[in-house]
Structure 1
Amino acid sequence: MKPIKIGIAGLGNVGEEVAYQLIKGFRVQNDQFKIELHGISAKSKDKKRKIDTENIPFFDDPVSMTNSPDIDVIVELIGGDEGVAKDLCFSALNNKKGLITANKALIAKYGKELAEIAEDNNLFFSFEASVAGGIPILKLIREGLIVNDITKVTGILNGTANYILSEMELNEKDFDEVLVDAQKKGYAEADPSFDIDGIDAAHKTIILSGLAYGKMPDINNLSIKGIRNITLNDIKYCSELGYKIKLLGNSEVSFNKSSKEEFFCSVEPWLIPKNYGLSNVSGVLNAVQVQSSLAGNVMITGAGAGGEPTASAVLADIVDFANRTKLLSFGRNSSKIKNNYKTNTYTEKFRFYLRLNVIDKSGVLASLTSIFRDHELSIESFIQKSNHEDKTAELVIITHEASKLMLDKALLSINKLDGVISDPVCLSIYS
């Protein structure tokens, strides 16, 4: 049996776990494959690790691994959409090596280009670990649902954001307090903006859209809203109304009355009914729900990050390489993938949750009512919580179904109102 020779660049939590599993042997490795680690690269050669690297060739420059005749496939676990990670991935394929990566930012930006090189040279290129850690969602879409037309993909794709929202609800703590707790536990980075502002989930949503529809929007043109402005009061109000707040990556295709295809893609917090499957995914877990033509609604959930779960996805790609699996990285020819695809504004009507902080004085409510009337918006329910000490009030409004376009126009007028203290919080209600 000819051995499969692996080179790993990046020995963080995931890279170290992948190397460890390759060295000790995983469930099917000894029976079906001979897989050998023939190269590693990391920032520090001498850092103490749980693997013995003394007899494994070390490359100070990870890109130089792609020139080694002793390596068949490169595993890139460095991260980042530019710099050495990008150079390594393009160099691997240009030097006729297989490529496996967990780099969501890179795939969202350069996935189509890398897939084109791989297909032109009949090379293996896969990135299962780039979305939802140990959940095999890309394999599900690309292989398990291959005969289905997919119309919608919705996911809880960031464990940090999901943990914060879950802990706010469970322990009735403010956002800032839970964020500090998440950082202490290692669930959030020192700079958490990538996670809580929705960027991480956006990269993953772009990749899922590429597999589901062959459409990959540019992240700079994507509607992205994070969870920084979600308060404990929002959590409580929504719970009383029968909802939980979840940060969702959502993409879907539909046809309008003129039979013209429309593509919607966004990352934002939504109100989800408590009896709905996604609302019960708590803590650092991820979940993805796929609407398909034959299999119907399929939902898969599990650990979305961490060394072991993500290593599981990387190793599954290595097994596919060892099996010589014929793989179109996005489940279709790369020539059919549309980069920088323009997204539409949602045309479907939703109910909306609004929270406004206002000065508690006469005339404010009348002005709000007037704006709603002018924009053809009607109120389903209304709650006012007054603070007599500072003479402010918190207004919570649930609207009847309305178009997002009209609501956005109304919000522009509301922001200009004398008496509105801060930007309104506006969340769509998932149906």
Structure 2
Amino acid sequence: MTANQSDNTKPLRIALAGVGTVGVGVIKLLDTNADLVTARAGRPIEIVAVSARNKGRDRGVDLSPYAWEDDMTALAARGDVDVVVELVGGSDGPALALARNAIAAGKSLVTANKAMIAHHGQALAAAAEDKGAALKFEAAVAGGIPIVKGLREGAAANSIERIYGILNGTANYILSTMEHSGADFGATLKDAQELGYAEADPTFDIEGVDAAHKLSILAAISFGAQIDFDAVDCEGISSVRAADITQADALGYVIRLIGMADVEATAGESPALLQQVKPCLVPKGHPLAHTTGATNAVVAEGNFSGRLFFQGAGAGDGPTASAVVADIIDIARGETGSPFSIPTAQLVPMTRAVSDNRTGQAYLRFTVTDKPGVLAEITAAMRDADVSIESLIQQGRANDGGEVLVALVTHDGPEGNISKAVELLKGSESLTAPPLIMRILSE
């Protein structure tokens, strides 16, 4: 029995590593809602120690009631700490050292660190199970949306057939802003940085890495799979142009960066797991089409529950702090359970699924020189790859050296055929940039 499970009449004592935006939010929430949290947890929750990079920084909250540790890993060794809360970030380094040390000491761990869980969550979960400690990471996926708890508890009786959604607020803000403003990607990204919606280095957000971290965690919980972040097929939004947004709108779609995972049976011993983060065309009637700004949304399809839709703030001090404290309350109640819904030893190693045989519609955009024969070249490649074209649009661009955008939408067909058509066009002097391929999400 761990220290935080031994006496439910005593306060649950926590140590907080990282007193940035989310850490301050946790402190404020526990102070503002102290009576409510105590009633729901069944015992008081007290912060006893904190650690951060700069002790003297003004954070707008009083840290003097708490013990200070210059070395965050020292929090794990404190005898007056039951639960360590890690809000530092980073897949390795001090955050991982703290997580390992805390669990080794028999302390429960709460983290908002999606990169660490995506890369090391399985090993940490196994260690936590061995020690009888809890590992909680609700805040690591979609901020304040209770998607981890929703899958582990609310949908626990269901076989999840597919999970997908908008998992990065920065990318969603950029794409939905492009819809309303008509501006191109570069200008919108710059505005997002100035407004604080995008980091100075936005690579993880706009290239899909952040969403891929979250998707790999959701896939493990949904399908009982071993985490395999390296198997996520990841593509960002930096190639999406204002013209693509316009064409999607004319066709009845919006563009969203979608993380999607499902499992397919194989002839081998283990099933195959498909994990993709890619920009997609979403029908305007789909709930995800109405998710705008920095909001996140996740759809889980259960075999008995049907479609479950979760939407809310994917980041920010309040929503993320809410998820962190919800995990702490669970621990105070003695509700731990397997971090990935089933015991770690039962998580199944799955092969990486190949999407070539999957059928669906797609949007393809080619940037080409304005000269005779280009359309014939593109349509010939489609014909030779057995890709059926539903519609084709050619749009010139003024003052751009005669460059032309050619966009087409395919009929339902194997994704592998589209890959073959693009390969046939590889090296063509008519193409001035790599083609953009976006899957069309089904209703």
Q: Which interval holds the TM-score relative to the shorter structure? A: over 0.9
Provide the C-alpha distance between the structure 2 equivalents of 1:419 and 1:256, rounded to a whole number of angstroms.
Answer: 40
TM-score (ref. length: structure 1) = 0.96
- Where does residue 407 of structure 1 map in the other structure? 418
The Cα of 1:259 is off from its aligned counterpart by 11
Distance 1:74 1:230, change over 3 A: same
Provide the C-alpha distance between the structure 2 equivalents of 1:362 and 1:24, rounded to a whole number of angstroms.
Answer: 69
Provide the C-alpha distance between the structure 2 equivalents of 1:189 and 1:177, rounded to a whole number of angstroms.
Answer: 15
Q: Once the two structures are superposed, what CA deviation does each residue of 1:148-204 show, in whole Å capped at 9, x if it has no partner?
A: 100100010000000000000011111111111111111100000010000000000
Q: Is the counterpart of residue 254 in structure 1 residue 261 in structure 2?
A: no
- 1:199 aligned partner, one-letter code: V
- Where does residue 245 of structure 2 map in the other structure? 235
Provide the C-alpha distance between the structure 1 equivalents of 2:356 and 2:275, rounded to a whole number of angstroms.
Answer: 9
User: Number of aligned pairs?
Assistant: 431
- Where does residue 125 of structure 1 map in the other structure? 135
The alignment partner of 2:67 has SS state of coil
Q: Once the two structures are superposed, what CA deviation does each residue of 1:56-88 show, in whole Å capped at 9, x if it has no partner?
A: 100000101111000000000000011000000
Provide the C-alpha distance between the structure 2 equivalents of 1:123 and 1:302, rounded to a whole number of angstroms.
Answer: 29
Provide the C-alpha distance between the structure 2 equivalents of 1:200 and 1:257, rounded to a whole number of angstroms.
Answer: 32
- Partner of residue 319 from structure 2, selected from 296, 309, 316: 309
Distance 1:51 1:225, change over 3 A: same
- Where does residue 92 of structure 2 map in the other structure? 82
Aligned ranges for residues 187-202 of structure 1 at < 5 Å? Answer: 187-202=197-212
The alignment partner of 1:270 has SS state of strand
Report if aligned partners of 2:96, 2:116 keep a CA contact under 8 Å in 1. yes
Provide the C-alpha distance between the structure 2 equivalents of 1:407 and 1:317, rounded to a whole number of angstroms.
Answer: 44
> What percent identity do the matched residue pairs reach?
39
- 1:40 aligned partner, one-letter code: V
Q: Which runs of 4+ in 1 moved over 6 A?
A: 256-260
Aligned ranges for residues 128-139 of structure 1 at < 5 Å? Answer: 128-139=138-149
The alignment partner of 2:84 has SS state of strand
The Cα of 1:340 is off from its aligned counterpart by 7.5
Aligned ranges for residues 150-299 of structure 1 at < 5 Å? Answer: 150-255=160-265, 261-299=271-309
Q: Is the counterpart of residue 15 in structure 1 residue 15 in structure 2?
A: no
- 2:162 aligned partner, one-letter code: K
The alignment partner of 1:88 has SS state of helix
The Cα of 1:350 is off from its aligned counterpart by 1.2
- Where does residue 393 of structure 1 map in the other structure? 404
Distance 1:387 1:204, change over 3 A: closer
Provide the C-alpha distance between the structure 1 equivalents of 2:69 and 2:269, rounded to a whole number of angstroms.
Answer: 55
Provide the C-alpha distance between the structure 2 equivalents of 1:257 and 1:66, rounded to a whole number of angstroms.
Answer: 46
Give the gaps of 5 or more residues in structure 2.
Answer: 1-8
Name which of structure 1's ranges 24-33 and 95-104 shifts more when overlaid on structure 2: 24-33
Provide the C-alpha distance between the structure 1 equivalents of 2:61 and 2:208, rounded to a whole number of angstroms.
Answer: 35
- Where does residue 331 of structure 2 map in the other structure? 321
Provide the C-alpha distance between the structure 2 equivalents of 1:254 and 1:350, rounded to a whole number of angstroms.
Answer: 16
- 2:70 aligned partner, one-letter code: D
- Where does residue 142 of structure 1 map in the other structure? 152
Report if aligned partners of 2:272, 2:352 keep a CA contact under 8 Å in 1. no
- 2:294 aligned partner, one-letter code: V
Provide the C-alpha distance between the structure 2 equivalents of 1:242 and 1:151, rounded to a whole number of angstroms.
Answer: 26
- 1:386 aligned partner, one-letter code: G
- Partner of residue 427 from structure 2, selected from 403, 412, 416: 416
- 2:288 aligned partner, one-letter code: L
The Cα of 1:407 is off from its aligned counterpart by 1.0
Give the gaps of 5 or more residues in structure 1.
Answer: none
- 2:27 aligned partner, one-letter code: A
Distance 1:237 1:325, change over 3 A: same
Q: Once the two structures are superposed, what CA deviation does each residue of 1:231-277 show, in whole Å capped at 9, x if it has no partner?
A: 00000000000000000110012346999843211100110100111
- 1:397 aligned partner, one-letter code: L
Name which of structure 1's ranges 388-397 and 234-243 shifts more when overlaid on structure 2: 388-397
